[in-house]
Structure 1
Amino acid sequence: MTDPGRHFCTCKDLACPCNPNNPKNLAKGGLGCDACIRKNLARGEVPSCMFISLGDTSEWDDWSVEGFARFVSLHPRSEEGGRSSAEHSAAFEAARKN
């Protein structure tokens, strides 16, 4: 079970001022990923959660759009991962329509 006081976020950098689970952001209440997405769009970067969904980022330091393209080429999604994503996407779309 997840902590209801926390936002879903795969980023482990709780000191980041944009992390929705940074204690300062939690104290403000209701802040999700908006600050992170705004920062990344302004910098031409991709949020770390996109990288994390594909593989280990512990040695990665290029969060640019071009860096993401390289990361994807180095960490291709498995067939099982593709099927799982398709199933989750279909379930999400079905729930959204109801």
Structure 2
Amino acid sequence: MADLGRHFCTCGDTRCPCNPNNPANLARGDFGCDACIRKNLALGEVPTCMFKNLGDTEGWDDWSVEGFARFVRLHPRGDEVRRDTAAQAKAFDEAHKA
């Protein structure tokens, strides 16, 4: 399972300036998904986490809304992916209980 960091984010690219688990963002404090969503809306794209929720993104390079529609057709979300996603969310919640 991926390192869940301080923020729940399935994107493993912590060098991304929009990733809430980027060390520079963590140093600033309460930084969530806002920057990523703003960037994707401006570019007509869908955040990587939505793709990853459906399946393996290895080799995928079309992050547009249209690309997401194709990805959904090619990667219908099965029971295993649903279980993995639920387990990741549960592990994050358990690790970050106040």
TM-score with structure 2 length normalisation?
0.75
Measure the CA separation in 2 of the matches of 1:57 and 1:4.
18
Q: Say if 1:27 and 1:60 are closer, same or farther in 2 by CA, change over 3 A.
A: same
**Matches of 2:68 and 2:4, distance apart in 1:** 31
Tell me the secondary structure at the aligned position of residue 60 of structure 2: coil
Judging changes above 3 Å, is the alpha-carbon distance between structure 1 residues 20 and 68 closer, same or farther for their aligned structure 2 residues? same
Q: TM-score, normalised by structure 1?
A: 0.75
Q: What is the match of residue 21 of structure 2?
A: 21
Q: Which has the larger radius of gyration?
A: 1
Alignment of 1:70-89 (within 5 A): 70-78=70-78, 80=79
Number of aligned residue pairs: give it: 81
Runs of 4+ in 1 over 6 A off after TM superposition: none
1:58, CA displacement in angstroms?
A: 1.4
Q: Write the distance in 1 (CA, Å) between the matches of 2:5 and 2:76.
A: 34
Q: CA deviation at 1:4?
A: 8.9
**1:52 and 2:52 correspond:** yes
Q: Distance in 2 between matches of 1:12 and 1:77?
A: 20
Secondary structure at the aligned position of 1:42 is classed as helix
CA RMSD of aligned residues (A): 2.1
Q: Percent identity of the aligned residues?
A: 76
Unaligned runs of 5+ residues in structure 2 are 84-98
